[in-house]
Amino acid sequence: MTIAVLLKQVPDTTAKITVSGGRVDEGAVSKWSMSPYDEYALEYALQLKEGGGGDLVAITCGPARASKILTDAAAVGADSLVHIVSDDSGMDSSNVQNLLASAIRKTGAEVVLCGKQAADTNSGSTGPGVASILGFTCVGMVSEVSMEGDGFVAMRTSPSGNEKVSVSKPCLFAFDKAATEMRRPNVRGIMMAKKKAVESLTPADLGVTMEGSRVSLESHSAPAEKPPGQKFEGAASVPTVVSKLRDEANVI
């Protein structure tokens, strides 16, 4: 069984984001990391591989710098690495989905894991989009997945209750925050990762003609500044504070 996991490199959640000329200034991003939901997908992909054997292919689509997350994936146990090299930040989601779907088809994977959304764009369309192109069953907001017989059992956890579903192949799981964090690599894994080749593919290699984006990005802008905090002193202000907490902050 071939398992594919889709990974995206995003600015680290701790990195400072600046906007200049109506665009996020990527050059100013101090640290790039694997998108957090993708880390959960990778961890469960590793568990599936360990449970049922098979090959784990890690796939990313992005500029040259993005291959770093493939090496990180190899360090924890991904078997092969596919990098769809694209510098075109103007690509819309459907372009990305087409590229990823073609790469998955090429690997022959029948089960795909990914994050429910990427930490930079938060579109949330990749998983469902790729599944629909491939005709795979899509299960979203997954927090756990395991093999059962020929198919899979997935948990969907939410504050209002849990749902357990079973699915047969071919299928795609889009991960929410999951029960187990991505494992830490070890020195042996890191040394092996260095030796694993990254297969670089262009859209042409995948036979995908990039149609003009249907969604075009007009501009980015920084969030509005938060209003300054309010300060109250003395016992006399208690009623005001209580009413603000109740009526404005909705916390009591």
Partner 1 sequence: MPYDALDFYDVDSLLTEEERMVRDMVRDFVDNEVLPKIEQACRDGVFPDEWRVELGNMGVLGAPLKGYGCPGLSYTAYGVICRELERGDSGLRSFASVQGSLAMYPIWDFGSEEQKNYYLPKMASGEWIGCFGLTEPDYGSNPGDMITRAEDMGDHYLLNGAKMWITNGTIAQVAVVWAKLDGVIRGFIVEDGDEGFTAPEMKGKHSLKASVTSELVFQDCKIPKDRILPGVKGLRGPFSCLNNARYGISWGAIGAAQACFDSAKEYSLSRIQFDHPIASYQLVQNKLSWMLREITKAQLLAYHLSQKKDAGTWIPEHISLAKMNNVDIALEIARAARDIHGANGILDEYPVMRHMANLESVKTYEGTHDIHNLILGRHITGIQAFTRTLE
Question: Can you give the binding site for partner 1, defined by CB under 8 A?
Answer: 14, 68, 71-72, 75, 184-188, 190-191, 193-194
The position carrying tokens 């995908």 is 208
Cβ of residue 186: shortest distance to partner 1, in angstroms? 5
Cβ of residue 134: shortest distance to partner 1, in angstroms? 32
For residue 86, give the DSSP letter: -
Residue 88 or 181 with smaller CB distance to partner 1: 181
- Max distance between CA atoms of the chain, in angstroms, equals 72
Quote the tokens at residue 116: 């429910």
Residue 102: CA count within 13 A, CB half-sphere = 18
Which among 83, 105, 91, 101 is positioned nearest to 202, based on CA atoms?
83
Q: Where are the beta strands (DSSP E) in 13-63?
A: 19-20, 23-24, 32-34, 55-62
Cβ of residue 57: shortest distance to partner 1, in angstroms? 20
Cβ of residue 67: shortest distance to partner 1, in angstroms? 10
Omega prior to 170 cis, within 30 of 0: yes
Residue 120 or 205 with smaller CB distance to partner 1: 120
Residue 212 or 229 with smaller CB distance to partner 1: 229
For residue 48, give the DSSP letter: H
- Give the angle subtended at the CA of 215 by the CAs of 213 and 218, to the nearest 5°: 110
Cβ of residue 146: shortest distance to partner 1, in angstroms? 23
Rounded distance, CA 46 to CA 49, Å?
5
Residue 13 or 89 with smaller CB distance to partner 1: 13
Residue 129 or 185 with smaller CB distance to partner 1: 185
Cβ of residue 42: shortest distance to partner 1, in angstroms? 15
Residue 188 or 226 with smaller CB distance to partner 1: 188
